Amino acid sequence: MGQFAERYQPAALGDYEALWRWSVEEPGDFWASVWDYLEIDATQAPRSVISGGPMPNTTWFEGATLNYAEHILRGNGLSDTDVAAVGRSQTRPAQELSLGELHEEVRRAAAGLRRLGVGPGDRVVALLPNIPETLVAFLATASIGAVWASCAPEFGARGVLDRWTQVQPKVLLAVDGYRYGAKPIDISGVVDQIRRGLPTVQSTVLLPYLDLDATISGDVQTWSDLTADTTEPLRFEPVPFAHPLYILSSSGTTGRPKQIVHGHGGILLEHGKQLALHHDLGPGDRFFWFSTTGWMMWNYLMSGLLAGASIVMFDGDPASPTLETLWSIVEQSAVTLAGFSAPFLMACRGAGLRPGETLDLRRLREIGSTGAPLPDAGYRWISEAVAPMPVSNISGGTDVCSAFVGGAPVLPVRSGAIACRQLGWRVDAFDPDGQPLREIDGELVITGPAPSMPVGLWGDEDRRRYRASYFESFDGVWSHGDWITIFNDGSCVISGRSDATLNRGGVRLGTADFYSVIEEHDMVDDSLVVHLEDDEGGLGDLLAFVVLRDGQELTEELREWLRARLRAELSPRHVPDEIQAAPVIPRTISGKKLEVPVKRILLGAAASQVASASALQDPNSLHYFETFGERWREKSQRSKS
């Protein structure tokens, strides 16, 4: 990052805040500098950097044509013999692909897709795990100018069809099954259901993974057929800057998931900037982030090759045989930057893991965390149980396929806080009247355009859904749906979803604050807090649900400890009226807690009305709350009569 500042904005050298201000106040100059720094190779040069109207009508690099896959495969400091991708799996032995081997596999796969009639703009969908073949298929699709979409194999048929029927794919790629820990899971029946539900699919390609002799009914090619030997060269289709690269799906907890379209150029610039500048990745680094192909962090991980880093992929159960599994991957693969979800890190802490003592993690220099706010206890655990090192707690999302707040190698890490707003992202905190706030919670907004904002939503030709999703709260301003506190030193804290914020007696309470205290106790594995308002203007009912570790019970002593800690560390308003033990906290497949759906269930809505079972990690996780809600409403009625 220092080299970037010295070359393009020397007045800001050594002053991150000044560099950030330049990046958002002069976005044309900044993104032109990123383009130059990353040595973007455009087939046709852009006529302008930024044009059009204010958000959401901004146009980036008008007239430019390029290809994301071409920039991945040029090496960016890796030689043909250097390892580009490491694949570790609980289904088969480890694999490594050199850059030259990756280029050759993509060449063959692209030729195979062309034989199937795939051309620019066609959709290729993949029910594939996080393995090197998936990287190959993705880059082959991108090289043609076709559009990629993927779901993890653990998705059920309904969840997949809710997403893919909207995008009308031409080709389906799928595995026959996989192992999750020691358990073999055959999904051939799910693949058949998906094929029947996608009438636009003209060709299916099966990758035998669980069973190397697997077959499925009908006219199906195998992966070997797709990647058969050919003399056809690898050609990169030059596409416009905003040409769709891939389609990412929203969680879909309350209806059909939004199909969010990201373009070649926006992802190329944003990921290159993030990984090379904010994560300081380059040749010689090994980049690992635990993810499935159904989460945007998979796409983020693939872009590690833009910075010349080797990427490390893992498919399997991160807790099998123990929570040390992923840390062993870090050791075995000589990972330098390892990323996890915040709940995983807190689970490691709760289990008493000390991987820095039991494993050789000397090459590890940075830990990334996302998916939820990482509390102070998580930072402290990393420092004590792994090693004192930078922790990059990032937040952004599927909507931008990146992070707009996170770390920077030139800034110190403050436990429990996010170091800074990322370069190029004009993040602010607004009050309800659209006025900026500092040092207190406000609505997280983005007041300036960025290249990796979505090209649009698939099928939303008049862009009404796009505007309604992001620009309805404040005119010309992106509202993200989180509460954020921005401090005077530029650091920030995200305290949860704004639509899940508790309002008790006129005081807003962020749910992340509760979780950081409750889940600090060694007996608590997970938690969820909801507030049921009082129609007559009272304080209402504040309910906390906790999932206890194996063998633990919710005693009155534990309840009192939690109440005392919440009162002391937060405020008397944070003390729940009830603390109940739940068997599981409902989460989406990507790990988000279902705070608002649970609240609606407690108020009387049916689980089927508030969340799609196919979008949940555990389709049965809402049943407890339906039963509890019935009892709670009966109790409330009796108390009022």
- Residue 625 scores a pLDDT above 60: yes
Provide the mean pLDDT of the chain: 93
How do residues 457-479 score in pLDDT, each as one tens digit? 999 999 999 999 999 889 999 99
Q: Are residues 15 and 103 in the same domain?
A: no
The total number of structural domains that make up the chain: 3
Based on the fold, state whether residues 241 and 263 are members of the same structural domain: yes
Report residue 641's pLDDT band, with 50, 70 and 90 as the boundaries: low
User: Which helix (H) or strand (E) is 579 found in, with range?
Assistant: strand 578-581
Q: Which domain holds residue 23?
A: 1-37
Provide the pLDDT for residue 284.
Answer: 97
Mean pLDDT of 282-293: 97
Q: Are residues 225 and 260 in the same domain?
A: yes
Amino acid at 490: G
pLDDT for residue 252: 65
Report the pLDDT value the prediction gives residue 538, as an integer from 0 to 100. Answer: 63
Claim to verify: residue 175 and residue 192 sit in the same structural domain: yes
Cβ atoms of 237 and 144 closer than 8 Å: yes
pLDDT value of position 536: 56
pLDDT of residue 590 exceeding 80, the answer is no
Identify whether 337 is part of a domain: no
Is 491 within a domain? no
| pLDDT tier, 371 (very low <50, low <70, confident <90, very high otherwise) | confident
Stretch 215-224: mean pLDDT: 89
Instruction: Tell me, rounded to whole angstroms, the distance of Cα 121 from its chain centroid.
Output: 24
Predicted pLDDT at 600: 86
Are 203 and 131 in the same domain?
Answer: yes
Residues 28 and 104 in one domain: no
Q: Is residue 319 part of a domain?
A: no
In a shared domain, residues 6 and 148: no
Kindly state whether residue 115 falls inside one of the protein's structural domains.
Answer: yes
Which pLDDT does position 506 carry in this prediction? Answer: 55
Question: DSSP states of 352-401 as a string?
Answer: T--HHHHS--TT--EEEEESS---HHHHHHIIIII-S--EEE-EEETTTT
* Average pLDDT rounded to a whole number, residues 563-582: 88
What's the pLDDT score for residue 513? 78
| Residues 66 and 20 both lie in one domain | no
**Does residue 205 belong to any structural domain of this protein?**
yes
| Co-location of 62 and 184 in the same domain | yes
Residues 16 and 76 in one domain: no
Residue 600 has which token pair? 């609606």
The answer to whether residue 89 is domain-embedded is no
Cβ-in-10-Å burial (0-12, 13-18, 19+) of 68 comes to buried
Question: Is residue 443 one of the residues assigned to a domain?
Answer: no
pLDDT attached to residue 332? 97
Task: Specify which of 325-329, 469-473, 501-505, 572-576 reaches the highest per-range mean pLDDT.
Answer: 325-329
pLDDT tens readout for residues 500-535: 767 665 566 778 778 988 998 999 999 999 998 766
Is the domain of 27 the same as that of 133?
Answer: no
pLDDT average, residue stretch 362-380: 91
Query: Does 72 map to a domain?
Result: yes
| Per-residue model confidence (pLDDT) at position 61 | 98
Question: Which residue would you say has higher pLDDT here, 372 or 446?
Answer: 446
Q: Same structural domain for residues 67 and 9?
A: no
The string of DSSP codes covering 556-575 is HHHHHHHHHHHHHHT-GGGS
Residue 499 has pLDDT above 80, yes or no: no
